Structure 1
Amino acid sequence: MGRRHRRSKVTRVVNLVKRIIAFFFSHVGLCALVIGYALGGAIIFRAVESPHEREIQSIVTRARQETVNVAWNTTFRVNKLDRAQWERTVHDQVKKFRVKTMWAIRRGYDGKEFGVSAQWTFTGAFLYSLTVITTIGYGNTAAKTYFGKTLTIVFAIIGIPLMLLFLTNIGDVMAKIFRFLYARSIRLKYKLILWHKKRRAAKIRRANSLVAKLTRANNRSYLGSGRMGAGIRDDCSLESLGVPSAAASDVHELLAARVHLDQLEVKESVEAQLQRISVPLSLVLLTMLAYLVAGSILFCLWEGWTFLDSFYFCYISLTTIGFGDKFPGASVGNDKDAQEKLVITSFYLLFGMALLAMCFNLAQEEVVNKVAWIANKFRSKEDDEYDD
């Protein structure tokens, strides 16, 4: 009994582990895994690099204050008439300050004031984690400690394949959604065409019915006037007058048949397009361009850049080139507004790369279809020449 109980426990644990693994490799789970991995990296990198950054900033601040104090004390201690001695003392202290500053720069000092602005905030560390696993690598923020550099290597070894898996997965999902929306738009387009054709047919039928009524009224008045002679009754048929009475009904039938054929043609065209549906390459490029333009306007307003500089930054970022010559530097700070900007920048990059993966997926499908079409054309030409 005890063995069976233990086996059932092990089975439940194994099934639970399988379900957890299956969830993490599903669409939602993979997205959560990537964001969670980047958040975990942000926590670790901040804990490792932030103390080092604060220490370097405080060293430079103390060295600058010491230089100011020496210059102030020298002014009162040295003979005011001995200018050379005053300059010599102050210059020596300025040289010491320069040496300390260069030492701090080599260890990551970026000119920011201690306690006022910092790179290794939580949002800054989160953006750093994303630039590592997405291989953008701006270079404006980098690990300076030995432990931080080692951690970056390990983080990238795991994170880059995870990010590639995420982009492949989410790009495929977004491509299916985009393709579905495109198919719905095609259906809506042809529904509007059918509605327009039905409306035109109804107008023609109403007009034809009105003409038929007027014709019958005119015939009755013509018969009632007695002009046709004594041998014709008032209720005589139009056939006896030489006017085909089935003309109106024939016109109605022809119109109905024409409308029915038009609707069948439209429906067949819809079904044919939906069976071989592929999003046009122009629409794919337009979608990506719209996302780049939206980001460019956003960074224009935030950073005061020109539109070209903003577009350049968005393009270089989303293509993972990441020169680092442009970066929302004004957003790196401790105030709440700057932190919100960094969060939005991070998610703009993450969603933009997923959108880029979707566009590559759709463009690849369209290119494959075009190549297959061209190959079939050449094959049919060769067959015709062979038959000749």
Structure 2
Amino acid sequence: MKKQNIRTLSLIVCTFTYLLVGAAVFDSLESQHEIKTLHLLTNMSAMIRIKYNITDDDYGIVETMVTKSAPFKGGSQWRFSGAFYYAITVLTTIGYGHSTPRTVGGKVFTMCYALAGIPLGLVMFQSIGDRVNRASSIVIRAVKRFLGCGSQEASELDLICAVVTLSVLVIAGGAAAFSREEGWTYFDSVYYCFITLTTIGFGDMVALQQDNALNTRPDYVAFALVFILFGLAVVAASLNLLVLRFVTMNTEDEKRDEAEALQAAQETVRLEGDVITANGSTLMRREQQASDGDVTSVCSCRCHSCWPPLPLPIGR
């Protein structure tokens, strides 16, 4: 138990340290760019107001209109294909935020739908990931058998390498397709695929949002949805192996602690009154019973072993 507490405390400290390091790095990388962008937008806003003689109230209305109309630039989002896309982002917890329900009924149904759908999706992807791992182990054993390796069993390290390689191939292939279809750079496409398949889903880059693609390009819609589902299954396989490794380490430590505690309890010796016990069992009970039968009373009371009293020799 003590080792488990130390491990938990170490994980907490490492996690918060990781967060602090990440915050410092993001601050140094992004803060200056944010300030420059803000100054640029502020200057452009002032120039537009002066050029077209727009009041602050009118400019605020224009800003609101531009912001509100942004989701509609990609075409209708709530027809069946767009609604199916939205349902996938809910069930997989990607949550791009490119389209959100505006009605009370839509918001209520989203919450209820997510409560039932998210656990279902997690179980499904975990099961598919397990199947992928089993298929990978079969392929690894076949390759080792073909190469004549001494050990033909698929080790945990072999599975991790195979599934991670498959994940990299899926991301690389998907990035090539999205770069061609969306007009993104290849690096931005890799970024989009990674953010999507890890379910981070910032929403800064979302596929199927140009030229009303959701309603006019069913082939591209099908590819994007299959990529998301298959890619999540592959990533789930990788995460299953990593999580299983940590859980196995944790379980081994727990079993070791339990064994040590049991051994310590068995070796514990304590004194209860005038009786010595070990692990709750009385020791030397037989010795006491045997000795009780051999004890002869030397008291002056009327015991059968010393009554009648023996005559005392009288010194002469």
TM-score if structure 2 supplies the norm length? Answer: 0.54
Percentage of identical aligned residues: 29
Residue number in structure 1 paired with 2:88: 130
Contact 2:214 2:221 survives alignment (8 Å):
no
Q: Distance in 2 between matches of 1:167 and 1:305?
A: 29
User: CA-to-partner distance for each residue in 1:170-194, whole Å, 9 max, x for gaps?
Assistant: 111111111111111111222xxxx
How far 1:340 moved relative to its partner? 2.6
Q: 1:286 to 1:371 in 2, by over 3 A?
A: farther
* 1:152 aligned onto 2:110: yes
Name the residue aligned to 2:134: 176
Aligned to 1:344: 223
Letter in 1 for 2:136: F
Measure how far apart 1:125 and its partner are. 0.9
Instruction: For 1:340, give the aligned amino acid.
Output: D
What is the CA distance between 1:300 and its match in structure 2?
Answer: 0.6
Q: 1:331 to 1:278 in 2, by over 3 A?
A: farther
Query: Does the Cα contact within 8 Å between 1:112 and 1:118 map onto a contact in 2?
Result: yes
Question: Residue 359 in 1 paired to residue 238 in 2?
Answer: yes
- Answer yes or no: is the 8 Å Cα contact 2:213–2:221 preserved in 1: no
Cα RMSD (Å)? 3.6
* Pairs within 5 Å for 1:220-235: none
Alignment CA distance shift 1:187-1:112 (3 Å) = same
Contact 2:91–2:121 (8 Å) recurs in 1: yes
Cα distance change of structure 1 residues 111 and 189 upon mapping to structure 2, 3 Å threshold: closer
The answer as to whether partners of 2:179 and 2:185 remain within 8 angstroms in 1 is yes
In the alignment, structure 1 segments of 5+ residues that lack a partner are: 1-86, 191-265, 373-388
Query: SS at 1:360's partner residue?
Result: helix
Question: Structure 2 CA distance, aligned partners of 1:309 and 1:143?
Answer: 28
- Offset of residue 274 of structure 1: 2.2
* 1:182 counterpart letter in structure 2: I
User: Contact conserved, 1:278 with 1:365, CA < 8 A, in 2?
Assistant: no
Q: How does 1:308-319 map to 2 (within 5 A)?
A: 308-319=187-198
Cα deviation, residue 121, structure 1: 2.4
> Within the alignment, does 1:295 sit opposite 2:174 as a pair?
yes
Unaligned ranges ≥5, structure 2 = 1-51, 252-316
Is the radius of gyration larger for structure 1 or structure 2? 1
Other-structure match for 2:70? 110
Q: Secondary structure at the match of 2:97?
A: coil
Displacement after TM superposition at 1:297 (Å): 0.2
Whole-angstrom distance in 2 between the partners of 1:331 and 1:363: 40
1:288-334, CA deviations, whole angstroms, 9 ceiling, x for partnerless residues?
A: 11111001001011011001100000000011110000112216446
Deviations 1:156-176 (A, max 9, x none): 000001001111111111111
Aligned equivalents of 1:320, 1:275: Cα separation in 2: 29
Give the distance between the partners of 1:163 and 1:331, measured in 2 at CA: 30
Instruction: Select the residue among 154, 157, 165 that pairs with 2:123.
Output: 165
Distance (whole Å) between structure 1 residues aligned to residue 141 and residue 165 of structure 2? 17
TM-score by length of 1: 0.45
How far off its partner does 1:362 sit?
A: 3.5
Instruction: Tell me how far apart the structure 1 counterparts of residues 142 and 211 of structure 2 sit (CA, whole Å).
Output: 41
Distance in 2 separating the partners of 1:334 and 1:175: 33
* 1:7-22 equivalence runs, <5 A: none
Deviation at 1:147, TM superposition (A): 0.7
Q: Of Structure 1 and Structure 2, which has the larger fraction of its residues in helix?
A: 1
AA at the equivalent of 2:181 = W
Correspondence for 2:101 among 110, 119, 143: 143
Change (3 A) 1:366 1:142: same
**CA–CA distance in structure 1, aligned partners of residues 187 and 144 of structure 2:** 35
Is the 1:124–1:332 contact (alpha carbons within 8 Å) kept by the matching residues of 2? no
1:1-388 aligned at under 5 Å gives the runs 102=64, 109-110=69-70, 112=72, 117-190=75-148, 269-270=150-151, 273-274=152-153, 279-328=158-207, 329-330=209-210, 332-333=212-213, 335-337=215-217, 339-364=218-243
Offset of 1:371 from its aligned partner? 10
Contact 1:167 1:357 in 2 (8 A): yes
Structure-2 change in CA distance of 1:370 and 1:286 (3 Å): farther
Cα gap change, 1:145/1:361 in structure 2, threshold over 3 Å: closer, same or farther?
same
Change (3 A) 1:276 1:311: closer
